[in-house]
A = this chain, B = another copy of it.
Amino acid sequence: MSRENTGSEHGRAGRRERGARNTGPLTTQLPRLTNRFAPVDILSPEQVERILDAAYALLETDGMKILSPRARQAYAAHGALVDEATQMVRLGRDIVEAMLAKAPGSFVLHARNPERDLHVGGNVVNFGPVNGAPNIRDLDRGRRYGDLEAFRDILKITNGLGLLHWQGGVVVEPVDVAVPVRHLEMYRAHIELSDLVWAARGVGGVQARDALALSAIEHGCSIETLAERPTLMTVTNVNSPRVVDEDILDSIMIMAEHGQCVVITPFTLMGAMAPVTLAGALVQQTAEALSIIALCQMLRPGAPCVMGGFTSNVDMKTGSPAFGTPEYVNAALATAQLGRRLGVPVRTSAVNASPAPDAQATWETSFSLWAAIMSHSHLINHAAGWLEGGLSASLEKIVIDAELLRGWAEILKPVEFGDDEIALDAIRGVAPGGHFFGSPHTLARYENAFYRPVLSDWSNFENWRDAGERTATDRALDVWKKTRNAYVPPPLDPAVREAVDAYIARRKEEIGG
């Protein structure tokens, strides 16, 4: 018989001895995280070169369809072969490699709170929230279109739980705000509710220019100064296969020209928008991303760029996207490996395709999160609150993800110990068959000895049953409500606040929203 389950008896004895103490969840802001583990490589060096060779060949012989005349001009000016009739741009490997050489391997995006500057590159691990969801879900109000209240709730909850290293952009689509001015309300919420780096909307030149203007106000500087001291990112996609539309290019070009960070992620679902094979999808993903990184460097050498990977499979029964699958894991690990070879930081995601914030959402997110972290990705997007392949943001899922993210943050801490932790004297001080609950070594340390969970319930079955048999998802409802209601935004200079409001009021009048 295994004796392992007898531990709970010891546990109950221990509780009686020690009495109740305040050991609630830790929700202080996660620090900057550094990965102490070696990256998990899945490709051989030869496999990496084969994928790169094919990606370069694709760019050179076939190219990308670039739907912006201004972008095509920039490509042509740097030696690309541009066919204006087809809008196809073909790029030689020599051109792309020369541009890549200008892209920084690491950089810093500045937050209003300097302690929360976003370091991108090296071994730094950064978490960002759900992005781009059209719907909001919670157990109280069900599933509905996103609105500004939900947008602000997500900011309050993710910041209140201390989970993020950057604040995201469109955490949920606030469809109650008219499209032409929607981005302004999102930017106002970012500045008001958080002091982290935030993201411009990834589509549209107007949206990019307003982000620059508001970020300059937030940081008390000019737009020209922002270029030397970047504060913003745009997180956007290629219209895979091999097209980039004009609205996306406008956003990318304006951000790059102003020295802000462009995170470019091809949308390469295997079998749908990319080949059904992993290697083929990686070839296409790499080619598409490199074409945009090259463009950014043409417009402003040294502009900070991040290569995104979103390659996953589709459900072969329904054609729906699948995430957190073995294919996703392999693609994320390979993407970061390609990024290391190319010398550019990498973005992946912690994603799932579950229709509910349940066990499936959790295992799919767990798979994608370990791959994202152990790959040494630098920006891990969608890491809090993403559900249904991105069609919904879920407030309960934010709390579930809090446990995943805070757990990983704890695992990434270095293990350090000395004689006190080796604890030979403490072991000698407990008789064989005794216990350590009352050991002075335990009593001196137990209150802060262990990770304190956000959501885990470790009570025994009887207590759990008598408390209403609430699953982790049920309990998450309580956590987000309490977190949202208790949230206190970080300090914001009233003059800055006033200037932000004035800018937005003026722009709303101009736009006529």
Contact = CB atoms under 8 A, between A and B. Distances in A.
Given A5-B134, A436-B276, A451 B327 contact: yes
A500 interface: no
B7 A317 contact: no
Contacts of A242: 427, 432-433
A241 B291 CA distance: 61
Contacts of A4: 131-132, 237, 265, 267, 310, 390
A275 interface: yes
Nearest to A442: B276
A36 B120 CA distance: 29
Interface string A14-32: 1100101101000000000
Contact of A472 (B65, B202, B360, B421): B360
B358 A427 contact: no
B451 A358 contact: no
Interface in A423-481: 423-424, 426-428, 430, 432-437, 439, 441-442, 445-447, 449-453, 455-461, 464-465, 469, 471-473, 476
Interface string A330-348: 1000100000000000000
Given A354-B457, A363-B403, A269 B7 contact: yes
Given A11-B320, A54-B422, 7 more contacts: A2-B236, A13-B319, A58-B424, A243-B432, A355-B461, A359-B476, A360-B457
A271 interface: yes
Interface string A356-395: 1111111110110010001000000000000011111000
A423 B243 CA distance: 18
Contacts of A506: none
B424 A57 contact: yes
The 4 closest A-B CB pairs, nearest first, are: A2-B132, A280-B423, A14-B319, A366-B366
A274 interface: yes
A390 B5 contact: yes
A1 interface: yes
A321 B8 contact: yes
Contacts of A366: 362-363, 366-367, 370
B356 A471 contact: yes
Contacts of A134: 5
A450 B316 contact: yes
A279 B12 contact: no
A228 interface: no
A42 interface: yes
A321 B7 contact: yes
B8 A389 contact: yes
